[in-house]
Amino acid sequence: MPVVTAVLALEIFLTGAASGSLGALLGLGGGVFLVPLLNLVFGFPFTVAAAISLTTVIATSSSVSAGRTGQQLINLKLGMLLEVATAAGSFLGGITAQFVAQSLLQKLFGVVAAGVAVVMMTRLQRRNVILDPNVDPGVLGGRFYEAESRAVVTYQVKRLPLAVVASFLAGNVSSLLGIGGGIIKVPILNAWCGIPLRAAAATSAFMIGVTATAGAVIYYGRGQLEPALAAAAVLGVQVGSWGGMRFGASASAKWLKVLMAAVLFIVAAMMFMRGGR
Amino acid sequence: MSTDRDSAADPRAPSLEHAIGFVLRAGVLASSACLAAGLVLSLVVGEQGAALFLLHAGVILLLITPVARVIVSIAQFASVRDWTFTGLTVIVLIELMASAVAALLFNKRL
């Protein structure tokens, strides 16, 4: 464990702030940036980086979701149904992380991230929303007011089994790699399950608190979580995600998709590099 | 086109959202306060005593917040007799408990 000096704490705080603002902007959770930075730049062992990142994921999920309640953007029922799958995946991933060499999984993650990025880029113009507010969203669908088009957006959930499988995978990758898992869920929920990007991102951000907790608890029990570093990162990410959220509210969905796809390609390359060693 | 967003919405959803929002906000504020105080104190006196206690309290509060949110959801779903979602949310709670048990087992190096 690294010795926590005031300088290191400040560096971790600023790294957290940068990761948190980017994460909030993209609905990814910030771990996608934090884990590679802590692991590659600060040189922390991967499990230590993942443990710190998971605590920031929980904090981001809680604060972002608390701020969004009342907007009906978070699909609570769908989120809680899919949490059954993400928590199971995360539990198994957290245990697996203690025993398995991660290079193969990182390469696999690179393939998945790149694949999802391609899907995002090819579906930029797609609007999978029903603007007629009289349409029945069903038990799992939802409706929310979109300020951009000044209308109530209604959507139904399609291909639920795919959403469940994606959520299990996302939970697994979450606790193995220390990220929220939104990187897997959000594009799939948006591209194939009929959920508008905003609602998919909000629902995912809501779910990853439970997902990351199932993994973080295991790292914490194993003694891989340095609490002072987690504190610096959590506080930094809180500040950063607050800033990112304010900016994200005015960004267009198309612009968000392009940015998210670019981020996915970068993450894929990083995972390949790490997995190749 | 109607812009009244509540007319056809699930009447249960607002109270559940409200309760969840309260739990999440309270959890984040409490854990952030402990972590901030613990971090500052640990930089002054080192990671020991009260500093270490505050840091661990902050981490535990952070980890408990999503669990509390799940418990509140179970109570809300049960109160409107939505047994499908009560059951699903109970499964989520059991999974979180399984992680805690795994953590305790790892902690004892079993």
Please write the tens of the pLDDT for every residue from B6-59.
434 444 456 888 889 999 999 999 999 999 999 999 999 888 899 999 999 999
A226 to A135, A173, A176, A222, A234: CA distances (angstroms): 50, 21, 18, 11, 12
pLDDT digits (tens, 9 = 90+) for B53-108: 999 999 999 999 999 999 999 999 999 999 999 999 999 999 999 999 999 998 87
Cα–Cα–Cα angle for A232, A1, A106, rounded to 5 degrees: 85
pLDDT digits (tens, 9 = 90+) for A32-73: 778 878 877 888 888 898 999 999 999 988 988 888 877 788
Nearest in space to A208 (alpha carbons), one of A68, A19, A57: A57
SS (H, E, C) A242-263: HHHHHHHCCCCHHHHHHHHHHH
Pairing of strands A151-155, A142-146: antiparallel
Between CA A126 and CA A119 the distance in angstroms is 11
- Written as six digits, the tokens of A188 are 């799939």
What residues in B contact A215, CB-CB < 8 Å?
99
Nearest-CB residue to B66 (from A6, A209, A225)? A209
With an 8 Å Cβ cutoff, are A230 and B14 in contact?
no
Nearest-CB residue to B88 (from A80, A209, A214)? A80
What residues in A contact B4, CB-CB < 8 Å?
152
Q: Which distant-in-sequence residues (6+ apart) come within 8 Å of A250 by Cβ? A: none
Mutate to test the interface with A, among B20, B73, B88, B92 (most CBs of A within 10 A): B92
With an 8 Å Cβ cutoff, are A91 and B99 in contact?
yes
pTM of the model: 0.86
What residues in B contact A77, CB-CB < 8 Å?
85
With an 8 Å Cβ cutoff, are A151 and B1 in contact?
yes
- Written as six digits, the tokens of A40 are 């590659």
Distance from CA of B103 to the nearest CA of A (A): 4
